[in-house]
Structure 1
Amino acid sequence: MPHADVALVPDRDSRLWTLASAALCLLALLVQLPTALALGLGATGLVLTAASWRRPLPAFVRILLALAMLAAVLSVTGFRFGRDTGCALLAAMLAIKPGETRSLRDNRSLLGFALFAPFAAFLLDQGPLTMVLGALGIGSALVALHRLADVEARSVATGPDVVPRMALVGRLVLIGLPLVLAAFWLFPRFATPLWGVPERALSKPGLGDEMSPGGWLDLMADEDPALRAQFFGATPPPEQMYWRGPVMWHYDGRTWTQAPWLRGLPPARVQHGDRQWDYQLEVEPTDRRQLVALDLAVAAPEGAHLANDYGMTVRTPLSALTRWRMRASTPASFEATLPHLLRQQALQLPAGFDPRTRALAAQWRREAGADYAALVRRALDWIRAEFAYTLETPLPGRNAVDEFLFDRKQGYCEHFSSAFVVLMRAAGVPARVVTGYTGGVYNRLGGYWVVRQMDAHAWAEVWLPGRGWVRVDPTAAVAPERIYDTLDDRLGEGVEAGRLTLEGFGSVSDWLRRGWNDLVLGFDAQRQARLLERLGGNGLGSRGLALLFGLCAVATLAWMAWFLARGERERDPLLRAWHRLDARYARLGLGREPHETAGDWARRVAARRPQGANLLFSLSRRFAAARYAPGEGDQRALIEDLRRHRP
C-alpha cells in the first residue's frame, strides 16, 4: 500500500510557496555562475514549472532535458571539472526538478534538494550577497516545509498563515543562534585546510601567466575590486603605485609568457632606497597563484615565494580572501650585474617576425651605439609624438608589432609594452614585460586604497648599465591620465559622473564589503587567538579550545532542548494561561498534581480553601469544555479570565 504523502497533492498556495522557495535557493547559486548560463537555467526552470503545473512531464522528456542541461554546462565549462562545474550541474538539475513535482513527497524532495544550492554557492563566493540570498532561501524553505507538514496532518488546504509560520521559523533560528556563534568563535581554527578544495574550471578575472593581443579586454572592463591596500605611515604618490605581478620573458611572435625556471633562482640583488612603505594587502579570490605587491617588494611575506625577477607566487591557489603584510621601496639599483643567461633571455626574439621593427632597431643602434638610455628616450619620444591610446583595436596579423608601430599607432597597454620591449630587444637592450595593476582609488570611509580589475596594466623594464632594471611605461608616455585616473576616465566616458559614483555609493558599498571581509571572512586562527587572549583564555591551545567549545555546545544544546520542550507544552495560548494559573496556586502549596484532572484539582482546592472555590470550579469546567469540546464557549474570554484570576 503506497505511503499517504505519495497520493496527497498539496493545495495551490503550498505548491506556489514550495516552488518560490526552491527558486530563491537556486538564485543564490545562479548569481555566481556565468551570466549566459545562469539566465538559461533560470528561464528553463520557469518554463518547466509552468508546463508541469497540471501534470508532471513524461519521463522521456525529463531525460532529454537532463542530457541537454549536461551538454550545456559542459560546453560552457569546456569539459573541465571543478567547483563551478559541479555547482552548475546542481543548478541545472534543480532547474528541471519542478518538471516531476506533483505530490506531497515530490514537494518535500524539491525543497530538500533546493537546500543544497545555497551551501554550494559558498564554494564559489563567501560575500554578503551570497549570505543574504542563502539565508532568505533557507528561511523560505523552512516555512514551506512547515506548511507541507500541516497539509499532511490535516489533509486539507491551509489558510494564508504566512506571518505566524515565519515567526515560528524565526524563533527556531534564534534558538540555534547561540550554537552557531559558539562554533564560529570557539571551534578551533586551522591555519591551513585539512583537505583541498577542487579548483575552478572557469577562471575568475585576474592576472594570468601569459599576455596575448586582446586577452585583457574583458579584464579591463571589470569593475570588481582586485585588491585593497592600507598603508601604515607614509603613502606613495599615485604615480608610484605600480602593483607588480607576473613578469613576462618569452615571446613567440604573439604571446608573452613567464620563464618558470626563474622561480628556482634566488631573488636578484637589489639596493633598496631609503624611503620604504609599510602596508597590508587584502587580495580578492582569483584561484591563481600569482600575488601582486607594490613595486618593489623588500621581501616575500610568509607563505609567498619571491622569484628572481621579483614576481611573487603563493603555495596554494588564492581561492579565498587573503591578507598580506609587506614592505616596499623604490630601488636605487636592481640587479646591477646581469648574468649572461638572463641577458640572453632578455634579448630573445622569435625568428621571422616583425622585419620592419628589426630594421628600425638596427638603424637606431648604429646611430646611438651602446647608449641604452638614448635608445629608450628615442623610443619614448616617438611614442609620445605619434601614438594614441584606445581600447578599440582589431586583432593583429602575423607581424603584430610591425602593424602597431607603423600602421595603426594606437592601442592600449598590451600593445605599447609588447612593442616597446620587442623594439628594445631588437636594438640590443635587455628588456622584459611586467604585468600588474596601477594606481587605485582612495576610500575615505575606510582609509584604504581600492585597486580594481580594470586597473590591470602592463609596462616594460629595461636593463641599463650601473642601474640594472628600470621601469619604463610607454603607455604613460602617450596617455598618463589613462594610468592614474578612475575607471570611467579610462573608458573615456562620464568622468565626473564616474568620480561621483565612486566617491558616493561605490565607496560606501566597498567599505561595507571590506567590513564583511574583516569581521567574517578574515576571522582566522590568529584572530581567534587574539579574541581568546582578550577574554582571558590565552594559552588554551587547540585541545583546550576544543574542550571549551564542547562545553559551550553541550550547554547550548541543553538550553535548546529545554526551550523547545517548554515551547511545545505552551504553544497553545489557552494551555499557557492554564499552566500559569496552576503556577500561581503552586506558590500557595495548592498546585495541580500531574495525575489530576481539572475537576479533581478544583475539588481538592475547594476542600482546603472554600473561599473562591466556585470561580475555580467554573474555570475548570470551561477549560475542560474548551479542550475536549472545541467550538463551545468563547475561548478568548476564557483565556482572559484565566489570566485575571488570582487565588
Structure 2
Amino acid sequence: MSNRIDAAAPVVLDAGSRIWVLATAGLCLSALLLQLPGALAGSIAAAAVAIAALSWRKPLHAVLRLLLALAMLAAVFAVMGMRFGRDTGCALLAAMLAIKPAETGSLRDARSLIGFGLFAPFAAFLLDQGPLTMVIGLLAVLSALMTLQRLAELEGGAETAPIRLPQRLSAVGRLVALGLPLMLAAFWLFPRFPSPLWGVPERALAKPGLSDSMTPGGWLDLMADDNPALRVQFFGATPRPEQMYWRGPVLWDFDGRSWTQPQWMSGLPAEPVTAGETVWDYQMELEPTDRRQLVALELLQTAPDDTRLSLDYGLYAPRALNSLTRWRMQSSPPRQFEPQLRQMLRQRALALPAGYNPRTLALAAQWRREAGGDDMRIVERALDWVRAEFGYTLDTPLPGRHSVDEFLFEQKNGYCEHFSSAFVVLMRAAGIPSRVVTGYVGGYRNPFGDYWVVRNMDAHAWAEVWLPQRGWVRVDPTAAVAPERIYDTLEDRLGGGGGVAGRLIQVGDFGDWLRRGWNDLVLGFDASRQERMLAGFGIDRLSGQRLSLLFALVAGLALAWMGWWLARSERERDPLLRAWHRLSARYARRGLGREAHEPALAWAQRIAAAVPERAGELASLSQRFVEARYAGAVGDRTALIRDLRRHRP
C-alpha cells in the first residue's frame, strides 16, 4: 500500500493542527475585537468560541451557517445602525471571521481561514494605531507563520513529528529576519506624501470627545472616560492648571434643551483680539477625534499652518483628524476680545426660545431693574448666588421642559453643563450677550516625561459674556461652587491617589509615557520628519529624489539578501531533505560533516571509520534516506524524519 498523498483527496486536519489554526484565528480576531463596542465584541467572541466547539468534529450544515451569518449581521447593524463606516466594516469582518471555522475541515479550509484571519489585525489599524494593536498584530502574524509551517508539514507527511515551540519560533524568526531589512527600508526611506492620497471613511459610531452640541446631563459617558484627549509639552512659561482652559466648540444657539454650534459661523474670519503680555509656547499632540475642530489654550495668536480660525476663535483643520496629529502653537490670555460686537452677533448672543423658563426670565428682569446699566454687577450677583446656594454633583436627574428653572430654583446641584447653560440663559434674559464655550480644563503633569496630559474626563463647559470696552470675558460659574458643596466628583468615583490606587496611577503614567514615545517614534514620523531624518549628519533636507534613490539602494541590497537566502534554502523544501541536512550539520560541528560532492552512503562509511560506535545506526539511516529520496521506496517517511531528527553524533 502506498503512503503517498492523493492529490485529489483533501487532507483532513488532525487535532493538533486544528488547535493551531483556531488559536491563530482567535489571536487575529482579538486585535479587532478590542476596537469594537464592548457588547458587540463580547457577542462576537462568544459566538466564535461556540462555533469552534460545535464544528470541532465536522463542518456545520450549510443552512445552519447561513442562519449564523444572518444573526451576526443583525447583531452588527443593531449596534452600529445602518450607517456604514470604518467601524461597521471592521465589525462585519470580525463577525465573518468568527463564523469561518464552521466550514473548516480540510487543509485547504485551514489555509483559507488563516489567510482570511490576517485581514483582521490589519483592519484594526484603521481604528487604532497604538502599540497594543501593533503587538497583537505581530503576534498574530507570527502565529500564522508557525501554523502555516505546521500545515506544510502535514501536507508533506510529517505532521506527527515532535517539533517543539522553540524550534518553530526559530524557523519563523528566520523568515521574519529575511523580510525585516526591506520592511525597515520601506518605513524609513520610502518617500512620504505630506497629505494622504485618499480619504479614510468616517466611523459609524463617533469616538468620545467634544461635539458641536451640548445637552445638560448628556456628558456623563465622556466625563467618565479617563483616556487621554491630548498631551502638551510647554517650552518656557507653563500656566497653572486652573489657567488651562482648552478652547473648543463655541455654542450659540439654544432651543430650550440643547446648545448647538452654528455651522455657518465657522466659515467667518476671526474677530480682532488684543493679546496680553503672557505668551505660552507649546506643542500639542492630539488624539484622533474623527472631527475637524481642534482645541487650543486660551486664544491663539496665529493659527498653525494648514488650519484656520473662525469668528469665535474655534480652530479647524482642513480634514477630519482621523489619526494622531501634532501642532505647535502660541497662545495668550486676551486683554480685549472683540470690543465692538456687530448687531447680527449681538442678536444671536441674546436669543432665547419663547415659552421656556419663565421664572428665570422674571428673575433676570428683576436684576436688570436693580442693576440699571451695570452688566458686571449682574454677573457678580449670579456668581455670588452660586457660591452661596449651589453644589457640584454628577448625580443629577434628567431635565424637564423648563430645565433652567428646575436647576436654578429646585435642584441647585449639577455639573458644568448645568451651570454653564443656566448661567448663559440667565445672562441673556438680563440683556447681556452670552454664549457657551466647551473644551477641556486643567490637566495633570506626567512625572515620567515632564509633559501634561488632558483626559476626556477633563471636558468642561463655561460661559463667555460680552462687556463694554472689554469684549468677550470668560466666566466659569462651575468654579464658583464653594468647596464644601462639592459632593461627587469624577476623582471620587475613580478612587483617590493613595495606596493601591496611587500605584495604579503611577503604572498608568509610565504606560502613557511609553505610548507617547510610540507616537513620537512611529506615528509622528511624517513627511517633514523624514526630510530632516539625516540632519544630524549634515544633510539638512532630503528631497523626494534623494529619498527615492536612497530607498532604491537599500531595498536593492535587501532584495539581494533575500535572493541569496532563498537560493541557499531552495533545495530544502522537502521536510525529509531538511532533516537530512540538519543531521549533516550536527556532524559538521564535530568536524565530520558531509562534503557537497559526497554521496550519503560513502559519507556513512567514512564516519564509520572515525566513530565506530555509531556506524550501524548512521548507516541504516543513510540507506533508508537514499531509498526514500532517490529510489522512491515505499516506507514510513514520518518515522524516517523522526529518526533523522533524533540522531546525534
Mark yes or no: TM-score above 0.5: yes
* 1:195 maps to which of 180, 183, 198: 198
* 2:559 maps to which of 551, 557, 560: 557
* 2:582 maps to which of 568, 573, 579: 573
Report the more deviating stretch, 541-550 or 29-38: 541-550
In the other structure, the counterpart of 1:419 is 422
Determine if the alignment matches structure 1 residue 141 to structure 2 residue 150: no
Query: CA deviation digits over 1:294-335, x for unaligned, max 9?
Result: 012111111211111111111111110000000111111111
> Aligned partners of 1:426, 1:24: CA distance in 2, in Å?
59
How has the CA–CA distance of structure 1 residues 183 and 482 changed in structure 2, closer, same or farther, with 3 Å as cutoff? farther
The alignment of Structure 1 onto Structure 2 pairs a total of residues equal to 623
* 2:626 maps to which of 628, 634, 644: 628
> Aligned partners of 2:93, 2:173: CA distance in 1, in Å?
28
In the other structure, the counterpart of 2:474 is 471
In the other structure, the counterpart of 1:645 is none
Given that 2:531 and 2:542 are in contact with CA atoms closer than 8 Å, whether structure 1 keeps it comes out as: no
> Aligned partners of 2:608, 2:418: CA distance in 1, in Å?
99
What are the residue-to-residue correspondences of 1:150-229 with 2, within 5 Å? 150-154=153-157, 157-159=160-162, 161-229=164-232
* 1:370 maps to which of 373, 379, 401: 373
Deviation at 1:256, TM superposition (A): 0.5
In the other structure, the counterpart of 1:643 is none
Deviation at 1:501, TM superposition (A): 4.3
Deviation at 1:564, TM superposition (A): 3.0
How has the CA–CA distance of structure 1 residues 487 and 450 changed in structure 2, closer, same or farther, with 3 Å as cutoff? farther
Deviation at 1:584, TM superposition (A): 9.5
Give the root-mean-square deviation of aligned CA atoms: 3.1
Determine if the alignment matches structure 1 residue 272 to structure 2 residue 275: yes
Deviation at 1:173, TM superposition (A): 0.8
What are the residue-to-residue correspondences of 1:236-247 with 2, within 5 Å? 236-247=239-250
Query: CA deviation digits over 1:112-145, x for unaligned, max 9?
Result: 1111100000000000110111111111111111
* 2:132 maps to which of 118, 129, 136: 129
Given that 1:488 and 1:498 are in contact with CA atoms closer than 8 Å, whether structure 2 keeps it comes out as: no
Deviation at 1:23, TM superposition (A): 0.3
SS at match of 1:274: coil
Determine if the alignment matches structure 1 residue 58 to structure 2 residue 67: no
Determine if the alignment matches structure 1 residue 360 to structure 2 residue 369: no
Amino acid aligned to 1:628: V
Determine if the alignment matches structure 1 residue 522 to structure 2 residue 524: yes
How has the CA–CA distance of structure 1 residues 613 and 31 changed in structure 2, closer, same or farther, with 3 Å as cutoff? closer
Deviation at 1:291, TM superposition (A): 0.3
> Aligned partners of 2:157, 2:646: CA distance in 1, in Å?
27
> Aligned partners of 1:482, 1:124: CA distance in 2, in Å?
41
> Aligned partners of 2:154, 2:350: CA distance in 1, in Å?
77
How has the CA–CA distance of structure 1 residues 637 and 52 changed in structure 2, closer, same or farther, with 3 Å as cutoff? closer
Given that 1:48 and 1:96 are in contact with CA atoms closer than 8 Å, whether structure 2 keeps it comes out as: yes
What are the residue-to-residue correspondences of 1:449-488 with 2, within 5 Å? 449-478=452-481, 488=490
> Aligned partners of 1:637, 1:262: CA distance in 2, in Å?
78
Determine if the alignment matches structure 1 residue 251 to structure 2 residue 249: no
> Aligned partners of 2:309, 2:368: CA distance in 1, in Å?
34
In the other structure, the counterpart of 2:40 is 37
SS at match of 1:462: strand
> Aligned partners of 1:445, 1:492: CA distance in 2, in Å?
22
Deviation at 1:5, TM superposition (A): 7.5
Q: TM-score, normalised by structure 1?
A: 0.90
Give structure 2 stretches of 5+ with no counterpart.
573-577, 629-639
> Aligned partners of 1:499, 1:472: CA distance in 2, in Å?
34
Amino acid aligned to 1:408: Q
Deviation at 1:260, TM superposition (A): 2.1
Q: TM-score, normalised by structure 2?
A: 0.89
In the other structure, the counterpart of 2:102 is 99
Given that 1:486 and 1:499 are in contact with CA atoms closer than 8 Å, whether structure 2 keeps it comes out as: no
Deviation at 1:265, TM superposition (A): 2.2
What are the residue-to-residue correspondences of 1:632-647 with 2, within 5 Å? 640=649
Deviation at 1:544, TM superposition (A): 2.4
Deviation at 1:529, TM superposition (A): 1.3
In the other structure, the counterpart of 2:79 is 76
> Aligned partners of 2:151, 2:484: CA distance in 1, in Å?
61
Give structure 1 stretches of 5+ with no counterpart.
586-590, 607-611, 641-647
Determine if the alignment matches structure 1 residue 17 to structure 2 residue 38: no
Deviation at 1:482, TM superposition (A): 10
| Bigger relative contact order (CA 8 A; separation at least 6) | 2
Determine if the alignment matches structure 1 residue 508 to structure 2 residue 487: no
Given that 2:449 and 2:513 are in contact with CA atoms closer than 8 Å, whether structure 1 keeps it comes out as: yes
Given that 2:360 and 2:404 are in contact with CA atoms closer than 8 Å, whether structure 1 keeps it comes out as: yes
Report the more deviating stretch, 265-274 or 543-552: 543-552
What are the residue-to-residue correspondences of 1:255-334 with 2, within 5 Å? 255-334=258-337
Q: Percent identity?
A: 61
Given that 1:6 and 1:105 are in contact with CA atoms closer than 8 Å, whether structure 2 keeps it comes out as: no
